[in-house]
């Protein structure tokens, strides 16, 4: 069975914890996959130091060609705050995932990232929050939801305490969603052989 080749996209100031969770899951055999490249526009980002994985520029005008040259099967956005070029979205349709730190379809969309998401959840008086892994389209946070994990919102929560409760769920959810994607992808391949 072929190992799936993943490209992970992170933001220039990203912490990279979801990217690390994916890299670790590949290295420890939880995913039948390898991270072929990490895309980050900031070469000085602490998240990509000592990674031993090629780092590429996500703003490369020939991004689609770059992904093809690397034989990427699956793109994982992890704190990447931009939209991907539409030619990439179309060419990788069904093969781009994103993680969002709330229960979509609520609390998503343009500008809803980082602490703002948790502030909005608290302001709305929600009793639970969590994270969502979804397929990526040309719009922010709109594609099909593939996996969610939930946790309670507690009295006295701050945006920071809520974010801290959700982050480990994100790491689990992302790896599980990729496992599911690989399973579905391989069944489809076998069916077509
Ligand atoms: C996460 O909260 C993720 O849900 C959101 O951006 C954050 C990235 O965190 N899309 P990290 O860089 O993976 O630690």
3-state secondary structure at position 129: strand
CB atoms within 10 A of CB 68: 12
Give me ligand 1 centre to Cα 159, in Å: 14
Q: What is the pLDDT of residue 185?
A: 87
Residue 190: count of CB within 10 angstroms of its CB? 9
- Closest-CA residue, ligand 1 atom 6, reads 79
Task: Tell me, in angstroms, the distance from the centre of ligand 1 to residue 131's CA.
Answer: 10
Taking CA atoms only, the protein residue closest to ligand 1 atom 1 is 79
Strand partners of residue 129: 151
Residues 87, 61 contacting (CB under 8 angstroms): no
pLDDT computed for residue 115 by the predictor: 95
Q: Which residue, among 10, 18, 6, has the nearest Cα to 41 in the 3D structure?
A: 10
- CATH entry, 4-192, from 1.20.1260.10, 2.40.30.10, 1.10.10.10, 3.40.50.170: 3.40.50.170
pTM of the model: 0.96
Distance (Å) of CA 13 to CA 17, 45, 80, 109: 12, 6, 9, 20
Check residue 172 and give its pLDDT.
98
Name the residue of 8, 13, 14, 18 to mutate for ligand 1: max ligand atoms within 8 A of Cβ. 18
Q: How far does the centroid of ligand 1 lie from the alpha carbon of residue 18, in Å?
A: 6
pLDDT in tens, the chain (193 residues): 899 999 999 999 999 999 999 999 999 999 999 999 999 999 999 999 999 999 999 999 999 999 999 999 999 999 998 999 999 999 999 999 999 999 999 999 988 999 999 999 999 999 999 999 999 998 888 899 999 999 999 999 999 999 999 999 999 999 999 999 999 988 777 777 6
Radius of gyration of the chain (CA): 16
Domain extents for the chain? 4-192
For residue 29, give both structure tokens.
Answer: 């055999």
Residue 193 confidence (pLDDT): 65
The set of protein residues with a Cβ atom below 6 angstroms from ligand 1 is: 10, 14-19, 78-79, 99-101, 170
Q: What is the pLDDT of residue 186?
A: 82
The set of catalytic residues is 100
């Amino acid at each position: 069975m072929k190992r799936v080749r993943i490209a992970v996209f992170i933001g220039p100031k990203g912490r990279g914890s979801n990217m690390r969770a994916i890299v670790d899951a590949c290295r420890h055999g939880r995913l039948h996959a390898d991270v072929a490249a990490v895309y980050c526009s900031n070469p000085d980002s602490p998240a990509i130091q000592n990674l031993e994985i090629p780092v590429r520029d996500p703003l490369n005008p020939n991004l689609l060609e770059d992904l093809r040259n690397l034989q990427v099967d699956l793109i994982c956005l992890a704190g990447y705050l931009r939209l991907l070029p539409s030619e990439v979205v179309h060419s990788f349709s069904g093969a781009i995932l994103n993680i969002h730190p709330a229960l979509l379809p609520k609390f998503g969309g343009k500008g809803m990232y980082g602490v703002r998401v948790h502030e909005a959840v608290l302001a709305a008086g929600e009793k639970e929050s969590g994270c969502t892994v979804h397929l990526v389209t040309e719009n922010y946070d709109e594609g099909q939801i593939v996996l969610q994990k939930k946790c309670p919102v507690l009295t006295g929560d701050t945006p920071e305490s809520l974010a801290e409760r959700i982050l480990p769920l994100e790491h689990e959810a992302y790896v599980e969603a990729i496992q599911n994607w690989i399973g579905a992808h391989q069944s489809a391949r076998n069916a077509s052989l």
